[in-house]
Amino acid sequence: MNWIALKMLTGDQGKYYALICGVTFACLLIAEQSATFCGVMMRTTGLIQDIHGADIWVMNSNVRYLDDLKAISDDAVFRVRGVPGVSWAVNLYRGMGEAQLASGNFQSMILFGVDDASLAGAPIHMVVGKVGDLQIPDSILVDEAGFHYMWPGEPLQAGKVLEMNSHRVVVVGVFRASQTFSTNPIAFTRFSHAILYVPPATRMIPFVLAKSALGLEPADVARRISQQTGLKALSKPDFVWVTMMYYLAHTGVPINFGTTVILGFVIGCAVAGQTFYLFTVENIKQFGTLKAMGLSDRRLVGMILLQSLVVGGIGYGIGVGLATVYGIIARKSFILLSFFLPWQVLAITALAILLISLLSSVFCIRRVLILEPAIVFQGG
Amino acid sequence: MPTDVVKTSGVSCQSVTKEFNRGAARVLALQGLNLQISPGELTLIVGPSGCGKTTLISLIAGTLDATSGEISVLGQDLVHMSKREKTTFRARNVGFVFQQFNLLPALTAAENVAVPLVINGWTKAKALERAAVVLKSVGLADRMHFLPAELSGGQQQRVAIARGIVHDPQLLVCDEPTSAIDAKSGQVVMELIRGLALESNRVTMVVTHDQRVFGFADRIVSMDDGRVSGEQRQTPADANHGTEQR
Ligand SMILES: Nc1ncnc2c1ncn2[C@@H]1O[C@H](COP(=O)(O)OP(=O)(O)OP(=O)(O)O)[C@@H](O)[C@H]1O
Ligand SMILES: [Mg+2]
């Protein structure tokens, strides 16, 4: 009966396209909203993502998320190095610095200080200059968006001069950073410099970056570090997750976006369900005829499910495709747009569309099951 | 014919009633109807609108349940059959021809004719092969791949007749098969139905109020107010007169 179900579905092209449009719309809405939501959530962790090389973050046991800066002791890095399974460990400074521009204006900056010797944790996506230039005394790297923010209209270049905590610093390179919520420029320098560039009160070690030995799971090594040092140690993905969860729990962002995602789902359900239901109602006589001719309920249900799954599948394909295209175009047009389409969003959208398809077919199935086959004799 | 033959291979209705409940209102569509029908002859059911003709053939075809009474069709007791058994019974034994044809608009003529076979578990290829043969027998060999919308009313009804008998059912029920088509097509359709009734010795019932086709019947059963009010046997004008089918 499958070929008959498919022919019934595609036979009336107008209705068929309307159905697919409905599901596509629902899919686009859900995928786009979820992706924007993910993009926004990713911003909360952009600074973690941008620290490359290390796969474990070690911090004060009271730290709840990335921006929650609390000091650890000076010897923490040595204790971490002593934990079996740790390949290497270095200090990472993170704080706020105040920079004075040549124009006299002051500008707050997010300042990272990486290990002097290895520069572990420094950015890798350089636009101007190279990471190694940090070995030059009093040098910093700033992020692309930050550069434009501080020197609007000027081409990206090395050689710009700033003053930080009465130290003259030179911008030797520009890197590309992930998006964050803050408009503050991000700067990288060596650890020994970083603590000179910030006010004395914030001179501390907030993080130790560590790398697990080859073949070991970072999460396992992190657990071992926690046990042996009493510090909080998280694998990079776990720290991303914990930070994201903190923002989820403590800001209004997720609720606002979650509402839109749910709204997308509800509207999608309504639109797709309605069109599919109308499709069934308009074809009720055909189902009645098949029923009268002795088609069992089980096979009728199979036909309807097949029809709705085919429509759901096609609508999903087009919808996700459109969402991707939208993401690409939108990201090109406005830098500030948050859009992130990981496979999880695709999976959730697929699940939602599957649910929509099944939900709407439930109504149709009910309608067809209670149908008296005798209606076929009624004229009209 | 002895009556037990009728009971095993024909249709037998005894004291059949059918009541429809529409909210508080009750409609007694059939009230204690008795009827025997033999296979191998063409039986017309006639009567004024609303007298219960459609209700009667729906009960006999197993698409509707009687309120009370006994109905035996092709030796099977319909009243005590489960819903599922009835569905199987219809698939195997009943052919339908409707006033409005009820072809699936998205399927070609051949595909429409193949549907009952597919319902009975045939593969698509085999069913289409058989459908082609039957379509030829109703004179539509050259319309095989046309969609219903591309056929005239008369041609559509011939496709529907092919679909009604493609699985060789022992019961063929037709509700007003000629009232949506022109007179000439109606004659062709009735000739076909009559030929099929005689050829395979099946029970063939045609509900109609189209006086022009009365001549095709072996037997005409009149109904009034939910009961059989009379009947008449006749020697049919017969299929000698013109078999031109186009
Ligand atoms: N599904 C239903 N619900 C309620 N009443 C019904 C239903 N089907 C038929 N009836 C009623 O039962 C009676 C018989 O209807 P039926 O359709 O059998 O008449 P009919 O002889 O076929 O009439 P017609 O020649 O107009 O087709 C009518 O009064 C009709 O209103
Ligand atoms: Mg009727």
Cα–Cα nearest to A146, from A111, A114, A116: A111
Instruction: Give dist(CA A38, CA A260) in Å, integer.
Output: 13
Q: Residue B3 falls within a domain, yes or no?
A: no
pLDDT digits (tens, 9 = 90+) for A171-201: 999 999 887 777 789 999 999 999 999 988 8
Question: Looking at beta carbons, which residues of chain B come within 8 Å of A4?
Answer: 104, 107, 111, 115, 118
Question: Is the pLDDT assigned to residue B152 strictly greater than 60?
Answer: yes
Nearest residue (by CA) to ligand 1, atom 12, is B29
Confidence at residue A335, expressed as pLDDT on a 0 to 100 scale: 53
Q: A169-183, A255-269, A277-291: which range is least confident on average?
A: A255-269
Each residue's pLDDT tens digit, A200-218:
888 889 999 999 998 899 9
CATH of the domain at B210: 3.40.50.300
Residue among B102, B156, B206 with most chain A CBs within 10 A, to mutate: B102
Which of B64, B94, B97, B119 to mutate against chain A (most A CBs within 10 Å)? Answer: B119
d(CA B129, CA A65): 71
Does ligand 1 lie within 6 Å of residue B27's CB atom? yes
Pocket flag, ligand 1, residue B49 (CB < 6 Å): yes
Contact B48 CB / ligand 1 (< 6 Å):
no
All residues at 6 or more sequence positions from B187 whose CB lies less than 8 Å from its CB, including other chains: B212, B213, B242
pLDDT value, residue B245? 40
Ligand having the closest approach to the CA of B98:
2
Split at pLDDT 50, 70, 90, the class of A219 is: very high
B-chain residues near A376 (CB < 8 A): 63, 96, 98, 102
Specify if B4 maps to a domain: no
| Chain B residues whose beta carbon lies within 8 Å of the beta carbon of residue A295 | 87, 91, 119
The pLDDT, as a whole number, for residue A292 is 93
Q: Considering chain A, what percentage of its residues have pLDDT values greater than 70?
A: 97
Mention every residue, 6+ apart, whose C-beta is less than 8 A from residue A253.
Answer: A40, A41, A247
- Contacts (Cβ under 8 Å, ≥6 apart) of A251: none
Residues of A with CB under 8 A from a CB of B: 1, 3-4, 7-8, 10-12, 285-286, 289-297, 299, 372-374, 376-380
The mean pLDDT value of chain A amounts to 87
- Cβ contact, residue pair B104, A3, below 8 Å: no
Distance (Å) from CA A11 to ligand 2 centroid: 30
A-facing residues of B in 115-174 (CB < 8 A) are 115-116, 118-120, 124
Smallest Cα distance from B160 to chain A, Å? 12
Q: Does B98 touch chain A (CB under 8 A)?
A: yes
Task: Tell whether the model's pLDDT for residue A251 goes beyond 60.
Answer: yes
3-state helix, strand, coil in chain B (%, to 5): 40, 25, 35
Of the listed ranges A273-282, B129-138, B147-156, the one predicted with least confidence: A273-282
| Residue B135 pLDDT exceeds 80 | yes
Is residue B6 included in any domain, yes or no? no
In ligand 1, the atom with minimum distance to the C-alpha of B21 is: 4
* pLDDT at residue A233 in the model: 94
Residue-wise pLDDT tens digits, B166-202: 999 999 999 999 988 888 889 988 998 998 878 888 9
Interval between CA B31 and ligand 2 midpoint (Å) = 16
Strands A106-114, A139-143: pairing kind: unpaired
Q: Do A295 and B119 touch (CB under 8 A)?
A: yes
CB contact under 8 A, B102 and A285: yes
Which residues have CB under 8 Å from A323's CB, separation 6+? A27, A28, A31, A32, A35, A341
A37-41, A52-56, A119-123: the lowest-pLDDT one:
A37-41
**Closest residue in B to A293 (Cα–Cα):** B91
**Structural domain includes residue B5:** no
| Residue B2 included in any domain | no
pLDDT of residue A333: 66
- Number of domains making up chain B: 1
Is the confidence at residue A332, as pLDDT, over 80?
A: no
Residue A369: which of A291, A310, A272, A303 has the closest Cα? Answer: A291
**Mean pLDDT computed over B92-115:** 94
Q: What is the mean pLDDT of chain B?
A: 89
Q: Which residues of B touch A3 (CB under 8 A)?
A: 124
Q: How far apart are CA A87 and CA A310, in angstroms?
A: 52
- Confidence at residue B2, expressed as pLDDT on a 0 to 100 scale: 42
Is pLDDT of A63 > 50?
yes
Quote ipTM for the complex: 0.89
Q: Which residues of A touch B57 (CB under 8 A)?
A: 377
Cα–Cα distance measured from residue A79 to residue A72, given in angstroms and rounded to the nearest whole number: 11
- The boundaries of the domain holding residue B51 are 11-241
**Res. A336 pLDDT band, cuts 50 70 90:** low
Q: Can you list the pairs that A197-203 forms with residues at least 24 positions away whose Cβ atoms lie under 8 Å?
A: A197/A97, A197/A111, A197/A164, A197/A165, A197/A167, A197/A169, A198/A95, A198/A96, A198/A97, A198/A111, A198/A164, A198/A165, A199/A98, A199/A165, A202/A69, A202/A95, A202/A96
Mean of pLDDT values over B86-104: 93
With 0-12 / 13-18 / 19 or more C-beta atoms within 10 angstroms meaning exposed / middle / buried, residue A377 is buried
Which of A34-38, A371-375, B119-123 reaches the highest mean pLDDT? Answer: B119-123
| pLDDT greater than 80 at residue B241 | no
Give the side-chain half-sphere CA count within 13 A for B110: 17
Q: What is the mean pLDDT of residues A235-258?
A: 83
